[in-house]
Amino acid sequence: MRKGSTFIGKSGSTGARVVGLTSRPGSAGARVAGLILALTVFCSVVGADSSFAGQARPGGVRSAVTGKRHAFNRAGAELLALRNQNSDASARINSRSVKDLTVLWQVKSKDLITHEPLVHNSRVYFADWGGKVYSVDALSGKVIWEKSIEQVDPTWGWHGFAGTGVVGNGVLFEASAEGNLFAINLQSGDVIWKAKFTEKPFAGSIGTLLYYRKTVYVPVSSLDEGMDQQKGFVTDFQGCVEAYDAVDGKHVWEFETVTDSGNGAAVWGGFALDVETNTLYFTTGNNYTGEATKMSDAIIAVDASTGEFKWSRQCTEGDIWTVAQPKNGPDYDFGAAPQLFETKIDGKMRKLVAACQKSGTLWVLDRMNGAVVWTAKLGAGSAGGGFMAPAAIDKTMIYAWANNAYPYGEPEKHPMDVAAFDQANGNILWKKAQAQPAWLTEAGFLSDDVFLVGSLDGKIRAYVKKNGELVWTSRQMDSISTSIFVSRDRMYFGTGIPSGFGGRGESGTVYCLGITE
């Protein structure tokens, strides 16, 4: 893979290739969300990762609705983001106020948006499938700048910025489905540097980036899994995680998850990072062809500085699957990023990592060695889930939604389950079976005492965290297409998923909802 980086307007530079563990036997896989153009599979891991890993929260934002100034502990917020918990106990949207939410602004794009809105210093940043990046005023919704920075091929199953970027050290980082990583000036939208992180012809990133200590981490996946329907097509992809210097775009290290370049290895979601042990966690999916490998459908831990392997836990063995050969395996890969938390078990505080799998299994492991602590089931496993996105985590519980073998059509006829799990043992504390229509790959959000969950029917619903009571349903919109994020008294998300996946809308819109008093 070529790891060149180019400063825009400056002399070019090439990052040295430092292999973290490229020769170690590995595995990979793919998370599939449906067929596009009858060629490939769709996977909007935005967070679906999906998740909010590495995203900085806003600081010092005054609400146009309440007039109150939002004060934030940035260091604490960034630490929580690295843990990827999708929750905020201090948020002002709760079971009492959620009914007062109203649309404050919306920004439309002619292209799809599956990029979770990134809220940072009174601005909201997002990008679309057309290769365009946006900066919007967080209070008014006024577009500050919009820049087309990637040349896309719209015939691809996904293209442009189908994943979610990250803000770090005053720079916006975005990775495209075409395989390019961009560092972007927050104030002007100008590209500072650009790096090519893969030379595989159909590889790129549709996951969530992470920033930590001047390093940007990129999950790599590809279209190969769905393109093998074409006569004569041979899969030629091994997924990986790529680490880049955030300042100059030089390549730092690479972790390849299989040795055979045609056997998958997609890393679909995002990351979690333990700052105390300097450990980076990510998940993989199924193999494509050939022999099954030991790190397919797995949770993996590596050194965040070097990419050196620490441990892996395979959760489904022998899962070899492509669109053209669906009977070879169950397609139980991970699309959801890992999540970190601590809880007391048998009187001792344990440091744990959780990951939600398309099999419908929630895995909780000891994050020091990968030993299984407990598992729990929700929904029915299939290519459409089971679990399709990360959960939301507070101090004692885990809140999650899971599809019931969603076939990528008629989501109202295939409703999801929503539940809360005890962190210590995985016991279900409450469960709402067939609670609402199916969703794709986006994460819900725990705002104070309500769990907010979107759906392909274009509505967001709020469940009280202590008992699962449904206390609010939003107005009708296009299908919710991004993970949900709450900052104080505001909720941010995107909409628009094509009808071919059971969705509403062929273009994208980013919404801001706020509490009116």
Predicted confidence band at 503 (pLDDT cuts at 50, 70, 90)?
A: confident
Say what percent of the chain tops pLDDT 70.
84
CATH number at residue 272: 2.140.10.10
Tell me: the pLDDT tens digits for 422-463? 999 999 999 999 999 999 999 999 999 999 999 999 999 999
| Candidate from 49-58, 75-84, 106-115, 303-312 with smallest mean pLDDT | 49-58
* Closest residue by Cα to residue 164 from 91, 56, 245: 56
Predicted confidence band at 60 (pLDDT cuts at 50, 70, 90)?
A: very low
Say what percent of the chain tops pLDDT 90.
72
Range of the domain at 230: 4-515
Diameter of the chain by CA atoms?
Answer: 62
319 is written with which tokens?
């899962």
CA distance 27 to 287: 6
pLDDT (0 to 100) of residue 15: 28
What is the average per-residue pLDDT within 233-244? 92
Mean pLDDT of the chain: 86
| Candidate from 30-34, 318-322, 435-439, 474-478 with smallest mean pLDDT | 30-34
234 is written with which tokens?
């041979």
Higher pLDDT, 93 or 294: 93
Predicted confidence band at 172 (pLDDT cuts at 50, 70, 90)?
A: very high
Predicted confidence band at 30 (pLDDT cuts at 50, 70, 90)?
A: very low
Task: For residue 187, give every residue at least 6 positions away whose Cβ sits within 8 Å of its Cβ, in sequence order, or none.
Answer: none
Per-residue pLDDT at 73 exceeds 50: no
446 touches 480 (CB < 8 A): no
Task: For residue 186, give every residue at least 6 positions away whose Cβ sits within 8 Å of its Cβ, in sequence order, or none.
Answer: 120, 121, 123, 125, 135, 167, 170, 171, 172
Tell me: the pLDDT tens digits for 79-120? 667 999 999 999 999 999 999 999 999 999 999 999 999 999
Alpha carbon separation from 505 to 153, 347, 480 (Å, rounded): 20, 50, 10
pLDDT (0 to 100) of residue 4: 55
Provide the Cα torsion 223, 229, 234, 238; round to 10°.
30
Count of residues in the chain: 517
* Closest residue by Cα to residue 118 from 172, 37, 68, 41: 172
Cβ neighbours around 347 below 10 Å, total: 5
| Overall number of domains in the chain | 1
